[in-house]
Structure 1
Amino acid sequence: MKALHHFTLTKRKTNISRFSTLSTSLSTPQTQETHFISLIHSAKTSKQLQQIHTQLLINNLSQNSRIATQLITSFTTFKSIDYALSIFRHFHHPNSFIFNSIIRGLFENAQFKNSVSHFVFMLELEILPDRLTFPFVLKSAAALVQFRLGRALHAQIDKRGVDFDSFVRVSLVDMYVKLGHLKFGLKLFDETPERNKLESILLWNVLINGCCKDGDVDKASEIFEAMPERNVGSWNSMINGFMKKGDLEHANLLFDQMPEKNVVSWTTMITGLSQNEDHEQALRLYRRMLDEGVKPNNFTVVSALSACARLGALGMGVKIDEYITQRRFQLNTEIGNALVDMFAKCGKIEHASRIFSELKKKDLLSWTIMISGWAMHGCSELALQYFDNMISTGVKPDDVVFLAVLTACSHSGLVDQGLHFFNSMRLDYSIKPTVKHYTCMVDLFGRTGQLEEALKFIESIPVKTDFVVWGALFCACRAHKNIKMAELTSEKLLQLEPRHPGSHVFLSNIYAEVGRWQDVERVRLSMKTKGIEKPPGWSYIEVEGLVHRFVASDHAHKRAKEVYTKLEELTTSARTQGYTPDTEWVLHNIEDEEKEDSLGSHSEKLALAYGLISTSDGTTIRIVKNLRVCGDCHSLMKYASVISGREIILRDTKRFHCFKKGVCTCGDYW
C-alpha cells in the first residue's frame, strides 16, 4: 500500500520492480481492481501506463472489464491510440464499456472512420450500443461529413429507444447542424417534450449556434429570447452570431447586458471586432478586460495582436508581448505567428525575424508571414532567401506564399525572378494562379515601365480579369505618364464596374491629366447623380498606447488647430530646403495655391504633425495609411525626417517607407 501511494507522488520512481509484491499485498480481486484503477488514473505518462499494463498481465488482470476500459481511455488520452487498440484486440470478450471506450478514444484522436468501423463491429457482435455509444459515433459522422451515415445512426437511435436521452439528443441535433441540415435539428428540437427543463440548456445553445452558422441570426435570436434559462454560453453564442453577421451594434448591446462574463465572452468580442475591421474598439476592449481583472487566454492575445498589426499599434503590441512573457504563455505556433506578424507590420522586421527564429515549430503560415514581412519592407533578397529556406525544410508552398514572393519581386523590379517564380508555381507545384497572382505580375511589368508587356500579359490571362488587374495597369500608366494607355485602361475599368468609385476617379484623373476639365466635371457629376462617393483617405498614429485616426481634411481631432499650425510650420521649413508641393497629385481645375492647400490636408501629413507635437525629440514616428502614399506626401516626409531629426516609418497599402536623414528605404521606387 505504501508503494502504491508513493507511486502517485513520484512518477520517476515508477518501474516494474515496484509491483513485484503486489499480488501478495492485495488480497482480493476487488481490492486489486480498485487499486489498479486508482493507479491508472494517477499515471502521468504513456510509459507509466505501459508499466502498469505489464503488471496487469503478470497478475492475470488484463481481462478485467473495468480495468481494461480505464486503461484504454487513459492511453487514448495520452494519444497512444495504437497501444489502446492493441489492448482492445486482445480483450477476449468485449462488452459495451470496452467498445464505448475505444469508439470515444478513436474519435478524440481524429480517427473518425475507425471510430465508425468499431461501432459497426459492435453491432456485428450483437453488443447493444447505449446512450454513451452514440454521441461519439454521431460526432465522427459529422466530422466525416456523411449525411447518409448520420441518418442511419438516427434510425439506430430510434430503434434502441435512446432518442429522448438528453445526451444523445443534443449530439444528434449537433450532428445535423454540423452537416448543414439545420431543418432536421430544428424538427428534433420542436419534438423534444422536456426542452424547457434547465438541464436541456445545451440543446438550446446547439440550436443557436446552428442558426448562426446557417446565417439565420433572426431565428437564433428568437430561440435565445424563448429560452427558459440562459447560461454564459448562450450569450456568447448570440454575440458570436451577431459578429459573424457584422452587426456590431447588437453584439455590443448583448455584451453590455450579460449578467456574467467569462474569458470566452471577452475573446469573442475582441475577435469579432477585429474581424469586422474595428481594431480600435478591439484594443479598447482588451484594455478594459485587463482593467477588470479578467485574464486573457491564447485566443485573446492572438486576436489583440492581430488588431495591433492592422493598426500599426506597436506600443500596445509590445505590452501584449510583455504580458505573454510575464504570464509564461507557451510560445506555440499560433501565438508565435501573431507576434511575428505584429512586429513585421509595425515596422520592427528584425524583431519579427528574431521571434520567427525562436519558433520550435514553423508552419506554412509562419513562413508566409515572414516572407511577406521582408517583402513589405523592401528586403526582396531576404524574402527570396527565406522562401528557399522554407522549401529546403520540406514545407510545401501554396498560392498565398507565392503571392508574397511575387510581391517581393515587384517591389524591387525583379522581372526575371518574378517570371521564374510565376512559372515555377504552375509547373513545379501545380498551383493554379489566381487573379491576385496575375495582378502582381501586371504590377511587376508596370513598375519597370514595360507597359506593352503588361497589356499583353493581361490579354493572355486565361481567367476573367477584374477591376484590380486593370487598376494595376492604370497606376503604372499614370506613373510613367502614358496618358493614351491610361485612358484606355480607365474606360475598361468603368465597363467592368460602373458603380465602383475607383473607376470614376481613375477616368476623372486621366481627363484632368490632359486638361479636359469639362470631362472631369461630367464624370464627377455622374458620380454625384448615382450616389457614388470616393472613400476618404485615413491614417493611424499611436501615441502613448492610444491610436489616433486622421481623415483627409480632418478638423475633428481635439488638437486640430495645433496640428495644422505644426504642419504649416513644417511645410514652410521644407520649402527653404528645396521642397516644392507636387500639385500633379491634385487633379482638379483649380488654381495652384488651392491645389497646395488640398495637398496639405492629406491624412498622413496630419498624422505626422500630430506625432511631432505629441512625442519627445528623437522618438520614431509610425504612421499607417489605408491608401497608397502620394508622391507629394512622400517628398515632404523626406524633408521632415531631416528637419525634425526623426525617423518616420509610414506603412501604406503596398509597403513600408522608412524615412531617415532625407532618404527613404524604398529608393523612391514604389
Structure 2
Amino acid sequence: MKALRVLFTNTKKHSPAKKCSFTPLFTDETQFISLIHASKTIKHLQQIHAQIILHQQFSNTRIVTQLISSSSFKKNFLNYALSIFRHSKNPNLFLFNSLIRALTDNSYYMSSISYFLVMLRSNIRPNSLTFPFVLKSTSALQEGWLGMEIHTEILKLGLLYDRFVLLHLVDMYAKVGLLDCASQLFDESSQWGDDARSTLIWNVLINGFCKAGNWGKALELFEEMPEKYGSTWSSLIDGLMKAGEINRAMELWHSMEEKDVVSWTTMIDGFSQNEQHEKAISMFFEMLEEGGKPNDHTIVCVLLACAKAGALDTGVRIHDYILSNGFTIKRGITTALVDMYSKCGSIENASHVFDKTEDKDLHTWTVMIWGCAINGYLHKALEFFNKMKSTGIKPDGVVFLAILTACSHVGNVEKGLDFFNKMKKDYSIPPTMKHYAVMVDLYGRSGRLDEALRLIKNMEIAPDFVIWGALFSACRTHKNIKMAEYASEKLLELEPKHPGSYVFLSNVYAGVDRWQDVEKVRSKMKNKGVVKDPGWSYIEIKGKVTSFVAGDCGHDLSDEIHLKLNEIVKSAREHGYMPETEWVLHNIEEEEKEDALGSHSEKLALAFALICSGDNEVIRIVKNLKICGDCHSLMKYASKMTGRGIVVRDIKRFHHFKDGSCSCQDYW
C-alpha cells in the first residue's frame, strides 16, 4: 500500500472533462455485440475478437467495451480482458470503467485501484460510474487514507451530489471503521434534500454502527428514519444478529408489522450464524405456515442450518419442497444440497445430487470433495478430484486442503506428502497455515512426531496456534511428554488465555497419571480465568433437532435418558466393554470416573435416540468437540447390540458405526 500511496500522491491533475463520444455505428456493431453476449468460452471470444479485427472494428468503443465486460465476467477470462485493454489504442472512459468494474467484481481490488490511478494519469476524467467500484475496492482493502483521497477527487469533480456515489462513499467509511466521517457525510447530505438520503444510505450507516457494537446510535438512526421500509428493518436485524445480539434482534423482529422474504431469510441466516440451528430450521417452517414464500437465498440458508445440525430428515423435507414447488435448481441450491447431504453423512445422496448438476464450478466440485474427505472416503475424494481436472477446472488451495484432509483421516502419509508437493511444484499454490496444520496432523497421528516438528521448524510462515495444537494432540496420542511440554510452551506464548492450551496439557499429564501436574495446570487455568468450552451434541428425531450439553439434566425426559444410558452401559459391559477412564482428567476413584464419563453429551443423545426413534432408523449425532475414546468405544458396542447404524460427526470427521466397528478403523 506504500507504493500505492506514492502513486496516488504523484498522480497528475486530470484535465477538464474530455468529451468521450462513441465511434459512429458500424453496420455490424449490433451483430458483434450480440455474439459477444452469447459467447461462453474463451475460444468463442477469441474467434469473435479475430472477426472484429478483420472487419476493422477494434476502434469501435462500444464493441471493445462489451468484449472486455464479457471476457471478465469469469475469473479465468480476466487475463484475456486485460490483454484486450492493453492492446486498445488510447483507451477512453468507457474502457477504463469496464475494466475497473471487472477487476473489482473479481476481487482484484489492488489492480482496480491501480488502473484507476492510470486513468487519472492519462488525464481521463472519472464519472459517477467509476467511483462506486473504486470505493468498493477501497473498502475491501481496508485503507481509510485511500478512501479520503478518493473523497477529495469526488469533491473536485462535483460528484458528491450523485446519490449513487454518495451511497458508496458512506458505505466505504462505515466499512473501514471511520464512522465519524460516515456520519458527518450523512448529516451534511440532509441539506441536499430527501432524494440524497435514500433508504440505502440509512441502512448502510445503521449496519456500520451495528458492526461497531454501537446499538444506541444504530437504534437512534432507526427511530429517526422518516419512513421505514422492510429493507431497513432487515438491515438492523442483520446487524444485530452478526454482532450476536440475538435477543435485541428478536425484539425488533416481533415489532415488524409486515414481514417479507428478506426479513424471514435474515432471521434464518442470523440464527444459523449464531449456532442456533434448530431455531433457524423452525423459523423456516414457521415462514411456510404463515404463507411466506422462500427464495433461493432462503433455501440455501436453511440447508446450511440443516448441514450444521446434522438434520438429515429435515434436509430431505426441504429437498422435496424444492422439487415440488417449482424452484429452478440453480447451482447455488444444488451446491447447498450436496453440502447438506455430505455433512449429514449421506454421501450417496450427495453424489446423486452432484451427478445431476449440469453447470458445476470449482466451488461445487470442492464441496463434493470435502464431503468425501470428512466422511473418510479418500478413494472417492481422489476420484472426484481427477474428474474435476478432466473437465478443465484447475484445483485451488481449498481443493488441495480437502485432499490432504482425506489423506490425514486414513493415515496415508505418502499420498498426502505427494499432493502437498504437487500443490507447490505443479500448480504454484503456496501452502497456507491450514495446509501445514493438516500435514502436521498427518505426520503426528501416524506417530512420525519428529518429522512433524521438522516440518514446523522449516515452515515458510510463522506457525500459529492451530499448528502447535495439531502437534500437541499427536503428542497426547503417542504419550510423548517432552515434545508435548515444548508444544504447550509455544501454545501459551501465542494465546495465553486460550482454554485449549491448558486442556491439551492436562490431558497429556492425565494420560500418564501425573495428577499433580494436572492439578497445577488446572489451578493455572482457574487463576487466569480461563474457562473450557462445554461439550454439546445435536440430534434430530422425527424432524425435530434437540441439543444436549455435557452433564445435561434439564431435558423433559432426563430421568428416562439416564436410565437408558445406564442400561446401555450395563449391557455393553456384558459384551466386553470397559469404560476407558483415562479420558477423565481428575485423580478420582474409578467409580467416580465412570460417572463423569457417563455425562458426555453424545452418550445422552444416543440414549435419547434409543428411546424416541424407530428401531431401524440410523442414529445421527453432531458434536462440537472431538469424540473421546470412551464414547467411541461405547458407540461401537451400542451399534452391535442394537443392530442400528450410528453416525457421529465430531469437530474433526465422521464416524460411521456399524456391527461393532467404526469407519475410521480406530484411527482418528
**Which whole-Å deviations, capped at 9, do the CAs of 1:205-257 have from their partners, x for residues lacking one?**
34334555677655433322222332222212211222222222222221111
Classify 1:446/1:183 alpha carbon distance in 2 versus 1 (closer, same or farther; 3 Å): same
Please state how far the C-alpha of 1:151 moved relative to its aligned partner. 4.3
Query: What is aligned with 2:158?
Result: 157
| TM-score, normalisation: structure 2 | 0.77
Distance 1:212 1:483 in 2: 47
Distance 2:494 2:151 in 1: 45
Asked if residue 139 in structure 1 is aligned to residue 132 in structure 2, the reply is yes
- Between the aligned partners of 2:223 and 2:304, the Cα distance in structure 1 is 33
Contact 2:100–2:134 at 8 Å: present in 1 too? no
Structure 2 portions without partners, runs of 5+: 1-32, 39-61, 73-91, 106-111, 139-145
Preserved contact between residue 217 and residue 241 of structure 1 (Cα < 8 Å): no
Q: What is the distance in 1 between the residues matched to 2:354 and 2:204?
A: 39
Question: Structure 1 residues 545 and 482 mapped into 2: Cα distance closer, same or farther (>3 Å)?
Answer: same
Residue 412 (structure 2) aligns with:
414
> Identity over aligned residues, as a percent?
52
> Residue 199 and residue 440 in structure 1: after superposition, are their counterparts in 2 closer, same or farther (change >3 A)?
closer
3-state SS in 1 of match to 2:620: strand
The residue identity in structure 2 corresponding to 1:292 is: E
Aligned residue in 2 for 1:190? 187
CA distance 1:149–1:196, shift in 2 (3 Å): closer
Q: Which residue of 1 aligns with 2:220?
A: 222
Match of 2:431 in 1: 433
1:606 equivalent to 2:604? Answer: yes
Tell me, in whole angstroms, the C-alpha distance in 2 between the residues paired with 1:273 and 1:379. Answer: 31
Aligned to 2:15: none
**2:132, 2:164 within 8 Å by CA — same for their partners in 1?**
no
For the 8 Å contact 1:138–1:172, the answer to whether it is kept is no
Task: Give the Cα separation in 2 of the matches to 1:454 and 1:169.
Answer: 57
Report the equivalent of 1:173: 167
Q: 2 CA distance for matches of 1:467 and 1:288?
A: 42
Kept after mapping to 1: 8 A contact 2:479/2:511 = no
CA change 1:455–1:109 in 2 (3 A) is closer
Structure 2 contact 404–420 (Cα < 8 Å) conserved: yes
Q: Deviations over 1:483-525 (max 9, x none)?
A: 4433443344334332221222222223323333222222212
2-side partners of 1:144 and 1:510: how far apart? 48
Q: Deviations over 1:21-67 (max 9, x none)?
A: xxxxxxxxxxxxxxxxxxxxxxxx969x99xxxxxxxxxxxxxxxxx
Whole-Å separation in 1 of the counterparts to 2:604 and 2:380? 33
**Structure having greater relative contact order (Cα 8 Å, sep ≥ 6):** 2
Per the alignment, in what secondary structure is the counterpart of residue 157 of structure 1?
coil
Residue number in structure 2 paired with 1:341: 339
- From the superposition, tell whether residues 337 and 549 of structure 1 become closer, same or farther in structure 2 (CA, over 3 Å): same
What is aligned with 2:462?
464
- The residue that corresponds to 2:514 in the other structure is 516
Larger Rg: 1 or 2? Answer: 1
Distance 1:514 1:212, change over 3 A: closer
Q: Equivalent residue for 1:387? A: 385
Tell me the distance in 1 between the aligned counterparts of 2:134 and 2:404: 41
Question: 2:586 maps to what in 1?
Answer: 588
Count of aligned residue pairs for this structure pair = 574
Quote the Cα distance in structure 2 between the aligned partners of 1:199 and 1:267. Answer: 29
Letter in 2 for 1:443: D
Structure 2 match to 1:493: 491
Match of 2:310 in 1: 312
Q: Contact 1:585 / 1:631 at 8 angstroms: preserved in 2?
A: yes
State the partner residue of 1:292.
Answer: 290
Aligned equivalents of 1:211, 1:391: Cα separation in 2 = 45
Is residue 472 of structure 2 the alignment partner of residue 474 of structure 1? yes
- Pair 478,187 (structure 1): closer, same or farther in 2 beyond 3 Å: closer
Unaligned runs of 5+ in 1: 1-44, 51-71, 83-98
Matched residue SS, 2:551: coil
Instruction: Give the structure 1 partner of residue 324 of structure 2.
Output: 326
How far, CA to CA, are the matches of 1:340 and 1:508 in structure 2?
Answer: 39
Q: 1:636 aligns with which of 634, 637, 640?
A: 634
8 Å Cα contact 1:270/1:282 also seen in 2: yes
Q: Distance in 2 between matches of 1:106 and 1:479?
A: 54
Rounded to whole Å, the distance in 2 between the matches of 1:186 and 1:651 is 47
Confirm or deny: 8 A CA contact 1:508 1:519 kept in the other structure. Answer: yes
Deviation at 1:418, TM superposition (A): 0.8
- Contact preservation (8 Å) 1:504, 1:524: yes
2:567 to 563, 566, 569: 569
SS in 2 for 1:498: coil
1:471 Cα deviation from its structure 2 partner:
2.0
Looking at structure 2, the residues matched to 363 and 404 of structure 1 have their Cα atoms a distance apart, in angstroms, of 16
1:631 aligned partner, one-letter code = G
Residues 296-344 of structure 1, C-alpha deviations (whole Å, 9 max, x = no match): 1111111111111011011111111111111221221211111100000
Residue in structure 2 matched with residue 36 of structure 1 by the alignment: none
Letter in 1 for 2:623: K
Residues 1:443 and 1:102: Cα distance change in structure 2 (over 3 Å): closer
For residue 646 of structure 1, report the CA deviation from its aligned partner: 0.7
List per-residue Cα deviations over 1:532-551 (Å, max 9, x = no partner): 22212111100111111111
Change over 3 Å in CA distance of 1:268–1:481 after alignment to 2: same
Contact 1:541 1:548 (8 Å CA) reproduced: yes
**Alignment partner, residue 548 of structure 1:** 546
The corresponding residue for 2:373 is 375
Q: Is the 8 A contact 1:343 1:352 kept in 2?
A: yes
Kindly provide the amino acid, as one letter, of the partner of residue 220 in structure 2: E
Paired residue for 2:441, among 443, 450, 463? 443
CA distance in 2, matches of 1:599, 1:214: 42
Per the alignment, in what secondary structure is the counterpart of residue 371 of structure 1? helix
Residues 1:251 and 1:195: Cα distance change in structure 2 (over 3 Å): farther
CA–CA distance in 1 between the matches of 2:491 and 2:593?
Answer: 27
> C-alpha separation between the residues in 1 aligned to 2:631 and 2:231?
50
- Among 345, 353, 356, which residue is 2:354 paired with? 356
RMSD: 3.7
Find the residue that maps to 1:192 and give its secondary structure.
Answer: helix
Q: Distance in 2 between matches of 1:231 and 1:100?
A: 36
Mean Cα displacement is larger for which, 567-576 or 458-467? 458-467
Corresponding residue number in structure 1 for 2:80: none
Aligned to 1:249: 247
Provide closer, same or farther for how the CA distance between residues 631 and 170 of structure 1 changes in structure 2, counting only shifts above 3 A.
same
Specify whether residues 517 and 301 from structure 1 end up closer, same or farther in structure 2 by C-alpha distance, changes over 3 A only.
Answer: same
Distance 1:514 1:206, change over 3 A: closer
Distance 2:137 2:623 in 1: 44
- State the distance in 2 between where 1:621 and 1:668 align: 19
Kindly indicate whether the alpha-carbon contact (under 8 Å) linking 2:479 and 2:512 is maintained by their aligned counterparts in 1: no
2:646 pairs with 1:648: yes
Flag as ranges the 4+ runs of structure 1 deviating above 4 A.
79-82, 99-113, 143-151, 179-185, 193-201, 209-218
Q: Distance in 2 between matches of 1:516 and 1:184?
A: 58
Distance 1:260 1:579, change over 3 A: same
Q: Secondary structure at the match of 2:158?
A: helix
C-alpha distance 492-300 of structure 1, shift in aligned 2 (>3 A)? same
In 1, Cα distance between equivalents of 2:116 and 2:633: 67
Q: CA deviation at 1:553?
A: 1.4
